[in-house]
Amino acid sequence: MKKVVFLIAMPLLLLIGCTDENREYEQFLSSEEGTYTLFYVEYFEENEEKLDYDYLREHDIRNTVGPITFADTTEVTESMPDMDEIPTYVLFDTEDKVYETHSREDLIEFLQEN
């Protein structure tokens, strides 16, 4: 009997554990298959180009990024508590976080390849 309870309880606990991680990012997940959502935090300099759809198009990235969410440094602790370095760029698909980097150039390269 104990083995049966264990065999039933263990998969449920694993499922709950996986689900909690996705819930942490649920607000950022893409709603459309085949596209990413982008969440990023960076110090915005006046002379620096803003990371938006025009910037992505200039780098031949089209139709792969859905919503783009920018957060200033005060919002970071609330929305992404595990973010430890700025700048940070995070891509999400429909299920989970798929890519994270601290380099805008690496982000662009990843998007161009995928």
* The model's pTM: 0.68
**Angstrom distance (rounded) from CA 99 to CA 10:** 29
Task: Give yes or no for residue 88 having a pLDDT over 70.
Answer: yes
Virtual torsion, Cα 66, 69, 70, 75, nearest 10 deg: -160
Mean pLDDT of 67-80: 64
Assign 95 to helix, strand or coil.
coil
Q: Which residues have CB under 8 Å from 108's CB, separation 6+?
A: 56, 59, 61
Cα–Cα distance measured from residue 90 to residue 113, given in angstroms and rounded to the nearest whole number? 16
The dotted CATH code for 27-113 is: 3.40.30.10
Question: Of 40-44, 54-58, 69-73, 94-98, where does mean pLDDT reach its minimum?
Answer: 69-73
Q: How confident is the model at residue 76 (pLDDT cuts 50, 70, 90)?
A: low
The stretch 24-35 carries a mean pLDDT of 79
Is the model's pLDDT at 106 over the cut of 90? Answer: yes
Mean pLDDT of 5-26: 50
**Where in the chain are the domains?**
27-113
**Chain centre to alpha carbon of residue 86:** 15
